[in-house]
Amino acid sequence: MKFVVVAMILGFSAWAEAKLNVVATTADVGALVEAVAGNKVQLDTIAKGTQDPHYI
């Protein structure tokens, strides 16, 4: 019984440390997300800095 409880605690702690997937529309919003969240997120941006997001 103790083994099951310890395994559950270890399993949940590993799950809680997983990075959150975030998608930002522009590079500016992506920079803001990186400044706030740091290395706790996996960030993807849709538009690059030189692209107009209205025409993607």
Does residue 8 fall inside a structural domain? no
Does residue 55 fall inside a structural domain? no
Burial label for 2, CB within 10 Å (0-12, 13-18, 19+), is: exposed
Give pTM, 2 decimals.
Answer: 0.63
Instruction: Tell me the average pLDDT across 50-56.
Output: 84
Residue 28's domain comprises: 16-49
Q: How far apart are the two ends of the chain, measured CA to CA in Å?
A: 55
Split at pLDDT 50, 70, 90, the class of 49 is confident
Domain count across the chain: 1
